[in-house]
Amino acid sequence: MDLMNIRPWIFFYLICFVALLLATTFIVQGITPLFWMSSTLILIVVGFNFILIFNEVREHKKRKAMMKQFSNKTAPKEAEKDGKK
């Protein structure tokens, strides 16, 4: 199984984690004016992360299919070269 490059996402997820902790703190503290902002922040972060991961997996599948297609095109040519020698 090929692993995707996860390193660039580390800082993004750390920032998202801090935002979720802050929003959760506001909700648990019961600060009413910040409750709706915190709830909205949580929904935005979770939704945005889902969309990014979904797109990343889709792109990874596209790249894998393209590499497989390229390797299938070059394999018969290499077999012909080996047969002529």
Q: Extract the tokens encoding 9.
A: 């996402």
Answer yes or no: is 81 within a domain: no
Answer yes or no: is 82 within a domain: no
Question: Structurally, how many domains does the chain consist of?
Answer: 1
CA dist 80 to 40, 75, 83, Å?
61, 9, 5
If you average pLDDT over every residue of the chain, what do you get? Answer: 78
Asked if pLDDT for residue 80 goes beyond 70, the answer is no
Answer yes or no: is 18 within a domain: yes
Answer yes or no: is 78 within a domain: no
- Please give the residue range of the domain that contains residue 50: 10-71
Percent of the residues in the chain that have a pLDDT greater than 70, as a whole number: 76
Asked if pLDDT for residue 70 goes beyond 60, the answer is yes
Answer yes or no: is 66 within a domain: yes
Which pLDDT value is given to residue 1? 41
Answer yes or no: is 76 within a domain: no
Answer yes or no: is 41 within a domain: yes
Asked if pLDDT for residue 23 goes beyond 80, the answer is yes
Q: How many helices, marked H, and strands, marked E, lie in the chain?
A: 2, 0
Answer yes or no: is 80 within a domain: no
Compute the average pLDDT of residues 33-56.
Answer: 83
Secondary structure of residue 10 in the 3-state scheme = helix
Q: Extract the tokens encoding 35.
A: 């409750």
